Amino acid sequence: MEVKADRRKAIQDYKSRKTPRGIFSARVGTSGPAWVGSSPNLDAAQNGLWFQLRLGTHRNRPLQEEWLPLRRGGVFL
């Protein structure tokens, strides 16, 4: 029974956690152009941004083309 209670507590804690929300910017290089966005979940936004850029499918063509030569090493959030 104690295992079930621990599991329920873990599930409840997970569901009640606060997700970081806000505004972010992606900048190519240290002085390159910046693209700004907002998200109700910043962690998911960052994960999605990296995924789309690595895959080459980001819908913002200028950002994608700036990122291609740098391959994540020069994009800062």
Question: How far apart are the C-alpha atoms of 34 and 11, rounded to whole Å?
Answer: 38
Inside any domain, residue 70: yes
Question: How far apart are the C-alpha atoms of 22 and 19, rounded to whole Å?
Answer: 10
Inside any domain, residue 39: yes
Strands (E), the chain: 22-28, 34-39, 75-76
Of the two residues 48 and 69, the one the predictor is more confident about is 48
Inside any domain, residue 56: yes
Inside any domain, residue 63: yes
List, for residues 8-42, the tens digit of each pLDDT value: 999 999 889 888 999 988 887 766 788 899 999 99
> Is residue 77 a contact partner of residue 26, using CB atoms and an 8 Å limit?
yes
Residue 76 in this model has a pLDDT that exceeds 60: no
Into how many domains does the chain fold?
A: 1
Question: How far apart are the C-alpha atoms of 52 and 66, rounded to whole Å?
Answer: 13
Inside any domain, residue 35: yes
The enclosing H or E element of 12 equals: helix 2-15
Domain assignment of residue 32, given as a range: 24-77
Q: What is the pTM of this model?
A: 0.65
